[in-house]
Amino acid sequence: VSEWNKTYSTREEFNFRMGEWIKTEAFIQEVNAPGSEHTHTAGHNKFSDMTREEYKRFLTLPKTDVLPVPPMDDEEEYVPNGSKDWRDGNCVTAVKNQEQCGSCYAFSATETVESSYCIHQGGKLWTLSPQQIVDCSQQYGNQGCNGGWYFYAWNYLQSHGQEEESAYPYKGKQTSCTYNASAGKVKTTSQGTHISQSSSA
């Protein structure tokens, strides 16, 4: 409770959450037991007191049928060319927490823009604002905390520079759009299915 800053409004809720935590503890002990057939180790996190149904709702979109996928150009044939860990080039920002908001699309769009800009602009790594995408890209097809698509976010960023996280911090919920054009750092330019970035600052 203290480690993950949990609060429960009633004793009954505390007891219920303790029961779910005990189930998670049993699973962790099974996974980590000597001779276990599992190939990974497990541990507690902030989800340990959730039911499986709650956890599933947390990780999935509630109404994916209202988010049609736009037509895409024919995919280019993928030709493997070795492997690279982009963390080695200092072009990947830290892991983020979307909290209980269906904003994974905003994070995936943002992380891609950050890394792509860094790779193509000599190592300049911005930490940009997913909250701006959540709040401001509805007219492009996204739905705030109810889901969206990374390419709708990129379409939005063709005409709106993405601000830094420090200027437009993440709140874990949809709020009013407070976009400040003068604070925009990066825009996208669509070239077929490719995305490149250019600084607007």
Query: Per-10-residue mean pLDDT for the chain, 201 residues long?
Result: 92 96 96 94 94 80 57 68 82 88 92 91 90 96 90 93 95 94 88 42 40
**pTM of the complete model:** 0.70
pLDDT value, residue 200? 44
What tokens does 15 get? 């007891």
pLDDT value, residue 120? 87
Q: Quick one: three-class SS letters along 176-193? A: CCCCCHHHCCEEEEEECC
pLDDT value, residue 78? 72
pLDDT value, residue 60? 67
pLDDT value, residue 193? 32
pLDDT value, residue 194? 37
